[in-house]
Amino acid sequence: MSDTEPKAAPAAIRSEGPRALRAGFIPLVDASVLIAAAELGFAGREGLSLALIRDVSWANVRDRLAFRQFDIAHMLSPMPVAATLGLGSNPSPTITPFALGRGGNAITLSARLFERMQAVAGVADLASALENARALAQVLAQMRAAGEAPPTFGVTYPFSSHNYEFRYWLAAGGIDPDRDVRLVVVPPPLTSDALAAGEIDGFCVGAPWNMVASELGVGRIVAAKQDIWPDAPEKVIGLRPDWAAEHPETVSRLIVALDAAARWCDQPENHDALADLLAQPRLLGAPMPIIRHVLSGEFCLDAKGNRRVLPDYFVFHRAQANYPDPDLARWIYSQMIRWGQAGYSPEQAAAAAASSRPDLYCEALGIAPPAPRGEAMGPFIDGLCFDPRDIPGYVEAFGVRSLRASGGDD
């Protein structure tokens, strides 16, 4: 699929007039496309009015979409998959016709824990993500030998890219996330405060909260999403399938508006204006300079001034970043199996893939779907590649996985 301009929405769709939609979001930079669509006129051009409703936790977003307080929602990419499979509390059928981009996550450890990694394992200030994971494994071995309690790490939701990426990074370093550390749920805006208070020893979260912690001097960024798998799915727009079926014209208008907003957000010359917008207290409420650095992929890793630049830390539109790819949903499903949240069956694999709706995306934009994928996806930080045609084989290849992980019916 090319990045050429899509067709405009059909005249019949445009002529329906304004329609107000309640849109839930969490204060994260990866809500940029939704926020820009609402605030900068992209939705209005398609006859839509988006009422942005800021929330604090993904569980709230899930419930408010299910109970019809939201019409659409900024969601973690695994949430529609989990809901479709009936996993977690209060699962309600959810689909996604539009991905909000890729990138934006990072893993931050407390400054104290990172200093211990340097003392025990001699890890360098600018060590790679894999070197940092292996250094943490050495510290954990020392802690176990001394009878110390394992560290507590925060993730934003059990069915989240953050949970799977944090687990993937730990396991790549030889750490069992279910035995060697303690994982707890912390809402994204509270992660840096929880780290500063000593309630957790690290976290995986989306921007800007990693850099907030490093700027405060309480955290050290040790890995970014791109280190684990650059193409990993991130946030999406979630809809109830019955609502989408009842309002096909509105869904098409919404996709056209989001596509235009994503193109705008992806342009570097617009990042100053985007950072100013996101910094508003009613939206993200984070310092504008931090947001601006995040959009440029410029990391302040710690209070010592160590820095790193990841030019594609955020991709809002390029490289099919908005395409709701069923193969990415299959990868999410593979991680649910790996960590004992689900068992494998061909029917469940098909259901997971069906939570992504590329048909709605392509129809709205008047474009053809991409050619079928002809090769495995990856490699990941551990050197493995994902073949969506062989989910059981992929799961079985992991040296670290839940004892409940199964390649057959569960």
Could you tell me the pLDDT band of residue 404, with boundaries at 50, 70 and 90? low
What pLDDT score does 403 carry? 67
What is the Cα–Cα distance from 125 to 14, expressed in whole angstroms?
54
Pairing of strands 105-110, 95-99: unpaired
Q: Is the pLDDT of residue 102 over 80?
A: yes
Alpha-helix runs per DSSP H in 221-309 = 225-228, 241-246, 248-266, 271-278, 288-296
3-state secondary structure of 239: strand
> What is the per-residue pLDDT for 89?
83
Q: Which residues contact 273 (CB under 8 A, 6 or more apart)?
A: none
pLDDT higher than 50, residue 360: yes
As a residue count, the chain comes to 410
C-alpha torsion 173→178→180→185, nearest 10: 100
Q: Can you give the pLDDT at residue 298?
A: 92
CA distance 398 to 136: 19
User: Average pLDDT of 139-165?
Assistant: 97
pLDDT tens column, 33-48: 999 999 999 999 999 9
| Maximum Cα–Cα distance across the chain | 70
- Number of Cβ within a 10 Å radius of residue 309: 10
**Residue 405: per-residue pLDDT:** 52
Band of residue 208 on the pLDDT scale cut at 50, 70, 90:
very high
Residue 342 three-state SS: coil
Reply yes or no on whether the pLDDT at 17 is more than 80: no
**Helical H runs in 50-147?**
58-66, 78-84, 111-121, 129-145
Q: Is 80 exceeded by the pLDDT of residue 219?
A: yes
% of the chain residues with pLDDT over 70? 94
Give, as one character, the DSSP assignment of residue 268.
Answer: G
Q: How large is the C-alpha radius of gyration of the chain?
A: 21
Q: How confident is the model at residue 70 (pLDDT cuts 50, 70, 90)?
A: very high
Instruction: Select the more confidently predicted residue: 232 or 145.
Output: 145
3-state secondary structure of 221: strand
CB count within 10 Å of CB 165 equals 25
- pLDDT for residue 158: 95
**H or E element in which residue 53 lies:** strand 48-54
HSE-CB at 296 with a 13 A cutoff on CA atoms is: 16
Q: Kindly tell me the burial class for residue 199, based on how many C-beta atoms sit within 10 Å of its own C-beta (0-12, 13-18, 19 or more).
A: middle
Amino acid, single-letter form, for residue 55: D
Reported as a pLDDT band with limits 50, 70 and 90, residue 300 is: confident
Residue 303 identity (one-letter amino acid): A
Would you state the pLDDT for residue 385?
96
Is it the case that residue 379 has pLDDT exceeding 60? yes
Query: Is 50 exceeded by the pLDDT of residue 11?
Result: no
Short-list 74, 47, 68, CA closest to 283 = 74
Give the residue carrying structure tokens 């909000």: 100
Banded pLDDT at 14 (limits 50, 70, 90): very low
% pLDDT > 90, the chain: 85
d(CA 235, CA 321): 10
Mean pLDDT rounded to a whole number for the chain: 92
**pLDDT at residue 5, as a whole number:** 46
Tokens in use for 17? 């007039």
Domains with residue ranges and CATH for the chain: 11-102+234-286+316-372 (3.40.190.10), 105-231+298-309 (3.40.190.10)
